[in-house]
A = this chain, B = another copy of it.
Amino acid sequence: MTTDNARTKTRDPERTRSSILDAALNAFARKGYHDTRLDEIADESHTSKGSIYFYFPNKERLFLALVDQFANLLERRITEAISGEETAMAKVEAALEACLATFGKYRRQAKVLLVQASGLGNTFEMKRIDINERFAGLIEQYLQEAVEQGEIAPIDTAIVAHAWMGAIYNLVIRWVYTGDPEPQRIVNTLVPTLLRSVGYVRGQAPAETP
């Protein structure tokens, strides 16, 4: 334990935590969640079991931290994409494209997290629901902004946000699993479909929602 603590102390804590997460992702990808032992993650990250326990109380929490890491990355990419856009609806479009691009770039990571997650049962299901609600909340916020700025007619933004979230999630996750259809085809149809669903037409006054 003395050696473990000494080893940990010589490194930047954020870097150590990050090395552990990278090593865990590799190990889960290679051997599966259940068959991965913390010793292997310690070896691969050049840390120790003591270090791992310092950051993560158990293997499940380590896995959930990987899920959070991916969700945080996704939110960061989406926020960056949005910041360059002026109108609320252009923000929505940029957000959707950033979401698909991020899943595209980190497809292997996303697949490991989704496929291995099925071994975690309800714990992961609750995490999935949490993240789903968080992103639906983001969508709702921008839809609300679009309504307030008169870009779209008033709608039940909570329902529409969860509908959009479901539509995006279903196509993205299906693509992660099967590789089909190709991301550009998803973007080409999904973005105008979602925008039409709230009566938005580029450069036009809001249509009446029936």
A197 proximity list for chain B (CB < 8 A): 193-194, 196-197
Chain B hits for A115, CB < 8 A: 122
Number of interface residues of A (CB under 8 A): 43
CA–CA, A162 and B190, complex, Å: 10
A188 to B160, CA, bound (A): 11
Contacts known (A196-B198, A196-B199); A159 close to B177, Cβ less than 8 A: no
Q: Answer whether A189 and B122 are a contact pair too, CB < 8 Å, given A196-B199, A196-B209.
A: no
Chain-B contact segment, one of A10-18, A74-82, A163-171: A163-171
Q: List CB contacts (< 8 Å) of A146-193 with chain B.
A: 155-156, 158-160, 162-171, 174, 177, 181, 185-186, 188-190, 192-193
Q: Are B185 and A159 in contact (CB under 8 A)?
A: yes
Q: Mark A39-59, 1 if CB is under 8 A from B, else 0.
A: 000000000000000000000
- Can you add 8 more A-B contacts, CB < 8 Å, to A115-B122, A163-B194? A156-B189, A159-B189, A159-B190, A159-B193, A163-B190, A165-B170, A166-B171, A196-B199
Instruction: Check: A85 CB closer than 8 A to any chain B CB.
Output: no
Residues of B within 8 A of A168 (CB): 163, 166
Closest to A193 in B: B197
Contacting pair A209 B185 (CB below 8 A): no
Closest 7 pairs between A and B when the two form their complex, measured CB to CB: A166-B170, A197-B197, A163-B167, A159-B189, A166-B166, A118-B121, A156-B189
Contacts of A165 in B (CB 8 A): 170
Provide the residues of chain B in CB contact with A194, threshold 8 Å: 163, 197
Q: A residues engaging B (CB < 8 A)? A: 115, 118-119, 121-122, 124-125, 129, 132, 155-156, 158-160, 162-171, 174, 177, 181, 185-186, 188-190, 192-194, 196-199, 201-202, 209-210
Which residues from B are CB-within-8-Å of A210?
192, 196, 201-202
CB pair B132 A170 closer than 8 Å: yes
